[in-house]
Chain A
Amino acid sequence: MKRRTLLQSLALFLTTGLSRAGAAGFSQGTRLPDLSTFGLEGALPALKGKVVYLDFWASWCAPCKASFPVLNGWQKEFAGKNFTVLAVSVDEKAEDMAKFLKKNAVDFPLVRDATQKLVAAANASTMPTSFLIDRKGVVRLVHSGFRAGDADALHRTITQLVNEA
């Protein structure tokens, strides 16, 4: 009886601990899953054969707002080089996203992860978190946050990836 109670307690303790363990997420070298299976709101652009800057953002995140003009610049600069920014909003309310975009209009494709399944699968460590994906669909860089000075290093990596065969 005592042993059973101890085992039950241990099992409960372990399952509680395991349920809190985070998912591995999209890490460098992993393949990007098919985004159409995550029930995203909005039109997904064709990503096959493209270098993709996958950006998770939210309307309540100040660094995300700061990053948008930079991302928009890259979208224009690399337009003819099979590159696209894909911004995934994790806003719970669609109107929050719409209000934000009214003030911060952009030219790159945007979708909303209303169920937050994709961001959970990606296991974004902060807001924003971005993933640079090469033409083969492999994650080549994971970038957390967006600070002044990050743009230059990211630009260099994007240039390198779009110039790869």
Chain B
Amino acid sequence: MKFLSLSLFALTAFSSVSCTNVKPWERGRLADPLMKPARDPLSDSISEHVWFTREAFAGGRGVGGGGCGCN
């Protein structure tokens, strides 16, 4: 019983603090170009080419746009 109570409490405590639900209209900061890990298209394409040459595959590096999740 005590174990169950503690488990439930821990589960609630962790789920309360670890996740947040960002609504579509709150994604302005996520959509900021500064949030993109790579911001130089030329550098990106060169890196992609080197990656393709070495690993024989390309792509799979995320989708275009920022983090706004638009559309």
Contact = CB atoms under 8 A, between A and B. Distances in A.
Interface of A: 2, 5-6, 9-10, 12-13, 16, 20, 56, 58-64, 90-92, 96, 116, 119-120, 124-129, 145-147
Given A16-B16, A128-B70, 17 more contacts: A6-B1, A9-B9, A13-B12, A20-B21, A56-B25, A60-B28, A61-B31, A63-B70, A92-B28, A96-B28, A116-B25, A119-B25, A120-B25, A126-B70, A127-B69, A129-B24, A145-B70
A115 to B, nearest CB: 11
A5 B6 CA distance: 9
Nearest to A129: B24
B28 A16 contact: no
Contacts of B26: 116
Contacts of B68: 58, 60-62, 127
The interface centre, meaning the residue of B25, B27, B31, B66 with most chain A CB atoms within 10 A of its CB, is: B25
Task: Give the interface size bracket for B toward A.
Answer: 20 to 34
Contacts of A60: 27-28, 31-32, 66, 68
A5 B4 CA distance: 10
A63 B1 contact: no
Contacts of B31: 58, 60-61
Contacts of B1: 2, 6
Contacts of B12: 9, 12-13, 16
Interface centre among A12, A60, A92, A145 (most CB of B within 10 A): A60
Contacts of A12: 9, 12
Contacts of A62: 65, 68, 70
B5 A2 contact: yes
Interface string B19-56: 00101111110011000000000000000000000000
B8 interface: yes
A71 B66 CA distance: 24
Contacts of B28: 58-60, 90-92, 96
Given A10-B8, A12-B9, A64 B25 contact: no
Contacts of A116: 25-26
